[in-house]
């Protein structure tokens, strides 16, 4: 990955706010909703789980309104929310079945990552554009322009492969745990697992991206030095 192009400056405060909102609506709010509805209002486990799934929908709606456009990341998120809602309403209406279906959604995400390796641009290219830019035309153009570099293309495909395999494995483990642990335990453990895997992948992605960028800069410097020596 070449360092010849530098990204436009972005707001760290806006990025932090986005992450806090995402974690709050996708992890904290569903757990609180489940506990409140089952313990204080007599809801069934299935009904409480289904009600809690409304929070991620709200998160996606807020993000779309915030950026004032629907990008590829938002489309993928909304598609999976629709899939989750549909599978929640079919088949066995039990809390355990809903947890298994929810785990299946992350498994589908892993399969989607692997499938996009056959597409012109892999899924991590679009995810990277969402989190590495602030959505402005300048930052988006910068990210799109990076695709011309072979090292950048290789990095995006490697990241997509790792994310796909990791989320397939995570889904299989969560499905197994859904059949062995109590529902209330899984309601808390499930988002913890999701965000633990996400956190580990995020740290690895940042490290791997910086490593590949450093390698690209080193190769570019060596090429420029060789060209200068030849002259």
pLDDT digit string (tens) for 4-50? 455 555 555 655 666 677 667 766 777 678 778 877 777 876 677 66
Q: Please say if the pLDDT value at position 3 is more than 60.
A: no
pLDDT above 90 covers what percent of the chain? 17
Q: What is the mean pLDDT of residues 155-177?
A: 93
d(CA 75, CA 210): 28
Q: Which residue has the higher pLDDT, 58 or 26?
A: 58
Where residue 77 falls among pLDDT bands split at 50, 70, 90?
A: low
d(CA 193, CA 78): 21
Name, of 22-31, 40-49, 115-124, 125-134, the range with top average pLDDT.
115-124
Among 16, 15, 23, smallest CA distance to 195 is for 23
Whole-number pLDDT of residue 23: 67
Q: Is the pTM of this model over 0.75?
A: no
Give 91-99's long-range contacts (Cβ < 8 A, gap of 24+).
93/46, 94/45, 94/46, 95/44, 95/45, 95/46, 95/49, 95/183, 96/178, 96/179, 96/183, 97/46, 98/46, 98/49, 98/50, 99/49, 99/174, 99/178, 99/183, 99/186, 99/187, 99/190
pLDDT, mean over the chain: 77
Whole-number pLDDT of residue 72: 55
Q: Which residue has the higher pLDDT, 48 or 163?
A: 163
């Amino acid at each position: 990955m070449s360092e010849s192009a530098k990204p436009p400056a972005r707001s760290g405060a806006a990025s932090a706010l986005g992450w806090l909102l995402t974690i709050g609506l996708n992890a904290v709010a569903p757990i609180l909703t489940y506990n409140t509805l089952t313990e204080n209002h007599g809801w069934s486990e299935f009904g409480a789980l289904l009600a809690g799934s409304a929070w991620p929908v709200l998160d996606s709606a807020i993000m779309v309104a915030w950026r004032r456009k629907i990008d590829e990341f938002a489309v993928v998120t909304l598609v999976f929310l629709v899939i989750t809602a549909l599978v929640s309403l079919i088949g066995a209406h039990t809390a355990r079945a809903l947890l298994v279906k929810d785990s299946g959604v992350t498994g589908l995400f892993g399969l989607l990552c692997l499938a996009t390796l056959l597409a012109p641009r892999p899924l991590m290219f679009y995810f990277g554009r969402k989190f590495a830019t602030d959505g402005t035309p300048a930052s988006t153009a910068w990210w799109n322009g990076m695709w011309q570099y072979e090292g950048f293309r290789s990095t995006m495909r490697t990241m997509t492969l790792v994310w796909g395999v990791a989320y397939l494995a995570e889904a299989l483990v969560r499905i197994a745990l859904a059949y062995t642990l109590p529902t209330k335990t899984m309601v808390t453990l499930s988002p913890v697992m999701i965000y633990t895997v996400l956190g580990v992948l995020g740290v690895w992605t940042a490290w791997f991206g910086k490593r590949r960028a450093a390698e690209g800069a080193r190769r570019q410097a060596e090429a420029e030095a060789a060209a200068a020596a030849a002259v």
